Structures are given as C-alpha cells and as structure tokens.
A and B are shown apart, each in its own frame.
Chain A
Amino acid sequence: MKKPPGEEPKDELTVTPPKKWAAGVPAVVHALEYSLEQTSPVRTGETLLTMNQVGGIDCPGCAWADPSPGHRHRNEYCENGAKHINDEATTRRVTADFFRRYPVSELARRSDMWLNHQGRLTEPMVKRPGSDHYEPISWTDAFGLLSAELTSLDSPDEAVFYTSGRVGNEAAFVLQLFARALGTNNLPDCSNMCHESSGFALHETLGTGKGTVSLHDLHHADLIFLVGQNPGTNHPRQLSALEQAKLNGARIIAVNPLPEAGLLRFKNPQKARGVIGHGVQIADRFLHIRPGGDLALFQALNRLLLEAEDARPGQVLDHDFIRANTSGFEEFAEHVRAISWEEVLTATELTREEIEKVRDDVLRSERVIVCWAMGVTQHKHGVATIREIVNFLMLRGNIGRAGTGACPVRGHSNVQGDRTMGIWEQMPDSFLDALQREFGFDPPRAHGLDSVNSIKAMREGRIKLFLGVAGNFVRAAPDSAVTEEAMRRCRLTAYISTKLNRSHAVCGRAALILPTLGRTERDFQAGGEQFVTVENSMSEVHTSRGRLKPASKLLLSEVAILCRLARRTLDGEPDIPWDRFEADYGAIRDRISRIVPGLHDFNRRVARPGGIQLPNPVNEGVFPTAVGKALFTCNAWEMPHTPDGHLLLQTLRSHDQWNTIPYTSDDRYRGIHGSRRVVLVNPADLTELGLSEGQHVDLVSVWTDKVRRRAEDFEVVPYPTARGSAASYYPETQVLVPLDSVAEISNQPTSKGIVVRLEPTGARRSPKTTPS
C-alpha cells in the first residue's frame, strides 16, 4: 500500500510560455509517472492494456467513442485517461483510523487534491448528528439508517437522488426505478451542469437529444468546427479522430477564447510523426472569440450564407433538404438578415473579415460538422447558441448526411447512458408508462428537481435527504457558499463513492459514506462475475469489465448498494426482484430491453464486439419534433453587461485535473506550474485595469442580488485570453457563479460567463468567507 501525502502541497507559482502542441512523448511520461506514483507497475499494466479494448475497462475519463473493433490501438487511451484510471486503481487506502485522526471539520479545511490523494474508501462510515467524526458502521446498519430516514419523510419529494456520469447503465436504471417506486422524480444529475443546454436545443430543433455524428463522420468531413472546447485536456482521444480527418483532407476551425495547445497541433505518441516529427496541425483557422460570442458568430455566418445565396441563387443553400425536412425557414431568414454587424463584432471581438473567411471555408465544403462543449453550453444563451448552430448546419443540408452533423462532446463516460436509463427529472410519459407496464406501479408524473432547483430546495429546508451516486456534488455545483449551506441543512446526506472528496466533509447533520467498487475492479455477485454497460457520446452502448482485485473486501457494487437499499426501504411494494437484479445484472438489462426503445435484445446484442450502435433518427430521415420536421429558430442574444473595470470570467479545468479533482497544481499546456490560484488575463486588459503580472487579487463577481461573491487571493498571470475576458480554475471559482445565473430553458449554471472585477488584495474589505 502506497503512503498518502500527509501535508498539503506547497503553493509556489512558476509560469512558462504556453505550449503550442498537445500530447507527444511528454504525455506518455506524465501518464506513467502519475500512474506509478499511485499504484504498481503490474496494476498499471493491467488497467492500461485493457482500457477501451473490446471486453476491457471503459475509461471513466471521458465519453469519447472508441474506434471500431479491429481498428483500436494496443494503447487505446490518453494521458488523462491513464491518470484517471490509476487514480482509481491507487493502492492508497482510507480506513477507520484515518477518520479517527481527522475530524470532519478538519477535512472541510483540506484541499480537493489532498482529499483525493488519501486513496480508496474501504468500509461504510457514518457521521452521527452532533458528531465531528465519521465512525465505522455495518452495511446492515447503514441501510437501516438510510431507509429509516427515507420512510420517515413526510413525502418522497423530500429526498433527492443525484447521479454522476461515472455510474453505469445498470446502476442508473436501478436508481431511477427505486426513486420512482418510492414516489419521486427528484433525479438531478451532473448533466444539469454540463450539456443540459445541448439536450434541450437539439431535442427542440431536431427531435433528438443526442449528437448525430459518429467517428466515421468526423473522419470523412470536409470542415470541422471546434467551438468552446479544449480537446487536448478534456477529450484527448478526439485529437486522434481530428488527426485522421486532417490526413483525409479536412480543414478545422477552432473557436475559443483561449488558444489551447490541443486546438493548435497534435503530436500523436503512437505515430512516428508524433514522436520524432512535428505532428499534425489541428486548427487551420483560429477565431479568438469573446466568451459567449458564439451565437453572434453563427448568426453572422448564417446571414452571410443567405447573402451568398442571393448572389448565386440555387447554388448555396440545400433547398431540397430545407423544403422536405424543415419548418420555419422564412421567419428565420427574415430574422437573421436583420442582425446588426456592429453588435456581432462587439459580441465576438472578431473582425468582419475573419467571419467572411469562415464563410468562404463553409462554401468550399460539402460536409460540415460542428463540435462543441461547455464553452457554448454554460452561457445564459447556451440553448439559443446551439439552436443557431443547428440553423447553420441545416442551411446547407449538413444534418442527416454522411460526414456532417451536430457533435456535442460530453465529458463523463456514461453521462449520456444515465439519461437513456431514465435519470432525468422530466422523463416523458412514454417512459413512465413503460415502467408502469413492466413493474406494475404508477410512477410519479410531476416533474422533479434538477441540480440547481435541488440546491434551492435544500436551502429552503424542503429537502431532508440527499443521496449521491458517485460524483462530488458540493464542488460540481455553482455558488459554493450557498450550496454548502444547503447541504448542511439536510437531515442526512449519503454518498456512494470510491474516493474521498469535499462532499463527504460538507455534509448533512448525519452523513453516510457508502464505499463502492470502481470501474477497474472485478465484480462478483451470486450470479457470477458481472459487467456493466455504458453509452458514449456517439450513442454506442458497450460493456465494461473490471480487471483488478477490489480495494477492500467490504466494498459493494453500486447496483448491490442500491438494490439492498431499495429492498429494505420499499419492503416488497411494489414487487420488484431487487435480489435477482443484484445477483445478475443481465436481469436488469432484460428489463431495460423492454422499457428503453432501441435496446431490445440488450443482453445478446451488447455482448457483441463493439456493442450496440443506437441509431439517431435524424440519420434515418426522421425528425421527431412536435411538427415532425426539423425547426429553424429565431434566436436573440444579450451579452452579459460588463461594466468598466470588469471582465467576463470563464471557469475551466487544468490539464492535470479530472472534473472537480486536481491531480497536481500544474497545468502544463498553459505553462502554469505549482499553483491553481491564478487568474489568466489578456495583457492589454491588465494595462487598462492598472494591474500587473504577479499581483495578488480577489475575484469578486457581480450579480443582480448584490451578494458579494469573492474568491480570494489569486495571482495575476498575463495570458492570451480574448480581450475583455479572464479565465480561472474550477472548482475554486465555483464560489463566484450565482445559483440564479443559469442558461435560459436548460437551467444550466453559466460558469463560462461571469462578470467579475479583480480587487488587489491590499484593498480587501471583507473577511475571508470562501472555501479553499
């Protein structure tokens, strides 16, 4: 067993020039370094060589699709996936002794990094009301405590059941079944905070909530947009697909407020050109856009395409597609022709010439794909932006055709699958009717609470019990101070977790830690060894089988924990065979196959190499919207008002980080080393603001409620961010994101569009109130 660090790492910032390429040999070295620091060479080999292979472990790091069976590399993983999987495979252990040594109040003072580095949780723990320590509890007593709390609620709607995207399909299905059998649709998930805007926009305009693109489409596209995303850090395996597309002749346009290394050049460490050569240039054109300016950009492009059609009638737009498959074109065209160039240029900080060059690229391209991530979704007009992207694609028939389409790039490995399984507070009646037919109970029909509304309900005392399956809700959620206060108001919080995080330290009056198997570990049940299934960002549903011996004999799988809890709480009513589900996950998949359309014959089909490709209706010529056609939409935007002396802040992850968990204080591609408390600002803005490199500032966000949200003591780093914007690390800056600052329609926090001012620490006027 490796020894965890006792002390917090020292915070000493060094800044080097940002990298102009991603991956290469350093990626391999860093991945191995971190893996070997966490675990043994043998375990590292066992995890890495089976990762993303047919019949192996699905990397929990991201939701990027795997190449077809027979076309995968022997090393089918990226630096961050390797770090992530061995972060889970670590031989460090958190035992009862650890909790005797560290009171909860002390854990709440520790950093996210330190908590994570303590290792794997090994036995169930309870914090009793009034106590400042977790203490061991038997599984039987833990289930007894949790089910007693659940059954004592005045209403099932006083509980929420949160899912993070690591959870496999089987556990997700069981969780939603349990919640609905109990009588609530309170099923918030991490999607609420990352791609909710994508789901709403795509569902409204195309009738499908998922992306329409496969890896093959990317390989065969002529032109690919990468909008508001950082593939080098957040989806590194996307770079291999982009490399393939480039080698096939594609052009790539990157649109982002930061010139990220992975957008510029990729050195594929599995190819000679990536090891000893210069790699492959990714972006042929880089648009240094202001955060949130994407809607204005795509509207301007759409106007330019309409004007190109005016100049060359019948040669620019795909009239046949528009006539046969869409509705609302005339209104859209009228709306977009009236947009103001002046407003577009202000919103984007681009020049008209830059946008016209993009139009020319589009006109030269027969097949166009737009990829996007949270740089698009986490804005007030995130849904509108994606609707406008759909308008853009449809104008030239770039939807439902080979090499074209809409590609939301998702983060958590099974975030898409969890939704397919019914983890959503607003599931349609068709799904609930199918549950009713299959299990003989009437699921609740009233919509439940999403993440933001769950926090509000907890804050108001309307939620008494919070159960989290995976994740780190306290750190993933916005408005950290409000969220933490809300969590502390709960009577009981319980987490099914693999590792320690801040959500265990900022908890309800009573709290449970229910330790579970990781994705890397073998899962033996009464019915034999089990596997789970997951669905990637491109709708491929496939298996994941753990290979390692579990971190502790006392761990239960997520499915087992949920089935035991459900059996204990529901006491046979309705009659659901929880024990059979626990013994054999195939029995769960049999039920799923009768409830979730497209997953018929689930067990047989998912066992095939590569699993099941869920079709997208759009590629079948079907647009299941309310009117049976794809919709053109008219979208308005209002950029956040940034008063003089203020900047528009986007929160982002470092390269050495997985979601809320930093592995180290380094961000090698951006040249930040040894500290995460930095704010990246354009040098011209620094001059205007009278600030200088190395100065220490507090970040103070501005919101309509006049509450002063402050993240203290950040060091200023000059960086080529878009003019008028700043960037700083998540989750440290979550404290600045007001709970009410959400995207219209999707209710997704606007973590990429927060108005802030930078106050030199010498001028600090209020005491420190924010978490570290």
Chain B
Amino acid sequence: MHSVEETIEVAVPVRTAYDQWTQFKSFPRFMATVKRVEQVRPAVTAWVIGYGPVRREFEAEIVEQEPDSHLAWRSLERGPSHRGEVSFRPTAAGGTAVTVRMDLQPRGLAGVLTSVPRMAGRVVRLELGHFKEFIEGLGEAGGAWRGTIRNGHVRPVEPQPPRSRVPCWPVG
C-alpha cells in the first residue's frame, strides 16, 4: 500500500472548483492520464486511464460526497485497488486549496508503474496542475452535481432528479 498526498491552490471559489470536479466525464479534456470516464450512476464511475501504450480500466464507487467540502472514492476491483479523497478548502485569498489523498494497492504492469511512490505523486501533482490551469482558464464550472453521498447511498438535491423519471410501474 502506497499513500500519496498533494495539494494545489486554485484561484476560483470553492463552489466553482468543487462543481467542476463533479463533472467526471470532462476529465479527459484536461487530464493527461485520464482517457475516458463514464458516469454510470451518481455514485459509480467507470474509468480508462493510461500512459503511452498502457491502459487500465476500473470502476470506482464514490462512498462519501459533501458539496463544497470533499468526496471519497474507492475502486471496485479487488486488485489492483485504490481509494482516495479529494477535499476543497477556502483560502484566505478567496481561492480553493484542493487536496488529493490516495492509497494505492498495485498489481500488474500498470500497478508496477504506479507503485513507485514518487511516480504516483508526480502524476497526481501533474493532473492537479492541469485541473488548476483548466478551471482558472475557464473561470466557471462546466456543470455541477450538488447531491450528497453517504456510505455509497445517493441523496439527491431535487426530490425527482431527471434520471429518476423512468417507468416505475410493476414489471412482471
């Protein structure tokens, strides 16, 4: 198990930084190692990450999420597995300190690459830099999900979010 922690300050309010972070599908737009993200459900995302010719797919469950504060996730695969948390704190200058903490349990080739603690830390630092560049450049978030997640259970903001409007009558 390797742990990584990196912090970066971004010059946008907490709400802007947090809202942008909830738009996982946009991550490939500014992150170098994230190739594709699918938002399966509010609490489940499917990721393709890679560097050079190496690709790894995994699904992640968001176990805790509190708007403008933090979100914590864990990969659903038994191995390699990882868990992490990203938190958002206001700075005195009106910006946001974004901190990513990750615990990695590597396996396989991709695992070997990320098993070097300094390399994992470097990747996280690099991607946080990309996030800073992106959100500061745009100035506002490209969307927002303001729900809460507790122990993997979603608590939406609206009583009937659009995705819940589906046929609910009994199916035999």
Is A622 part of the binding interface, using a Cβ–Cβ cutoff of 8 Å?
Answer: yes
A624–B168 contact, CB under 8 A? yes
From A202, A219, A220, A249, B170 is in contact (CB under 8 Å) with A202
Known contacts A325-B153, A628-B159, A615 near B168 by CB under 8 Å:
no
A207–B168 contact, CB under 8 A? yes
Known contacts A620-B164, A622-B160, A622-B164, A419 near B169 by CB under 8 Å:
yes
B41–A615 contact, CB under 8 A? yes
* From B41, B150, B164, B172, residue with most partner A Cβ within 10 Å: B172
Known contacts A324-B150, A402-B76, A203 near B172 by CB under 8 Å:
no
B147 — nearest CB in chain A belongs to which residue? A621
Is A194 part of the binding interface, using a Cβ–Cβ cutoff of 8 Å?
Answer: yes
* Chain A, range 413-431, C-beta contacts under 8 Å to B: 415-416, 419-420, 424, 426-428, 431
A397–B172 contact, CB under 8 A? no
Nearest Cβ on chain A to B42's Cβ, whole angstroms: 6
- B59 contact set on A, CB distance < 8 A: 216, 220, 402
Nearest Cβ on chain A to B41's Cβ, whole angstroms: 5
Is B77 part of the binding interface, using a Cβ–Cβ cutoff of 8 Å?
Answer: yes
B163–A194 contact, CB under 8 A? no
A428–B169 contact, CB under 8 A? yes
A321–B77 contact, CB under 8 A? no
Known contacts A220-B59, A598-B166, A620-B161, A419 near B172 by CB under 8 Å:
yes
Is A365 part of the binding interface, using a Cβ–Cβ cutoff of 8 Å?
Answer: no
* Chain A, range 737-772, C-beta contacts under 8 Å to B: 746, 748
* Chain B, range 59-103, C-beta contacts under 8 Å to A: 59, 61, 76-78
Cα-based distance from A748 to B171 in the complex (angstroms): 13
From B44, B163, B171, A419 is in contact (CB under 8 Å) with B171
Is B56 part of the binding interface, using a Cβ–Cβ cutoff of 8 Å?
Answer: no
Q: Taking chain B's interface residues, is the majority helix, strand, or loop, or is none over half, making it mixed?
A: loop
How many interface residues does B have (CB within 8 Å)?
A: 32
Known contacts A220-B59, A622-B159, A200 near B151 by CB under 8 Å:
no
- A615 contact set on B, CB distance < 8 A: 41, 163-164, 166
From B78, B155, B168, B170, A621 is in contact (CB under 8 Å) with B155
Is B152 part of the binding interface, using a Cβ–Cβ cutoff of 8 Å?
Answer: yes
Is B144 part of the binding interface, using a Cβ–Cβ cutoff of 8 Å?
Answer: no
- B172 contact set on A, CB distance < 8 A: 189-192, 194-196, 198-199, 415, 419, 424, 746, 748
Is A320 part of the binding interface, using a Cβ–Cβ cutoff of 8 Å?
Answer: yes
A321–B153 contact, CB under 8 A? yes
Known contacts A401-B43, A620-B163, A622-B164, A195 near B156 by CB under 8 Å:
no
B153–A203 contact, CB under 8 A? no
B155–A424 contact, CB under 8 A? no
B154–A402 contact, CB under 8 A? no
- A198 contact set on B, CB distance < 8 A: 171-172
Nearest Cβ on chain A to B170's Cβ, whole angstroms: 3
Known contacts A216-B44, A249-B78, A402-B61, A209 near B168 by CB under 8 Å:
yes
Nearest Cβ on chain B to A535's Cβ, whole angstroms: 9
Is B167 part of the binding interface, using a Cβ–Cβ cutoff of 8 Å?
Answer: yes
Nearest Cβ on chain A to B59's Cβ, whole angstroms: 6
Is A646 part of the binding interface, using a Cβ–Cβ cutoff of 8 Å?
Answer: no
- B170 contact set on A, CB distance < 8 A: 196, 199-200, 202-203, 209, 419, 424
A-B pairs with beta carbons under 8 Å apart, 10 shown = A190-B172, A203-B168, A209-B170, A216-B40, A402-B59, A419-B167, A613-B40, A615-B163, A620-B41, A622-B159
**Besides A419-B167, A419-B170, 12 other A-B contacts (C-beta < 8 A):** A199-B172, A210-B167, A220-B77, A249-B78, A402-B59, A419-B172, A424-B170, A426-B169, A598-B167, A619-B42, A620-B164, A624-B160
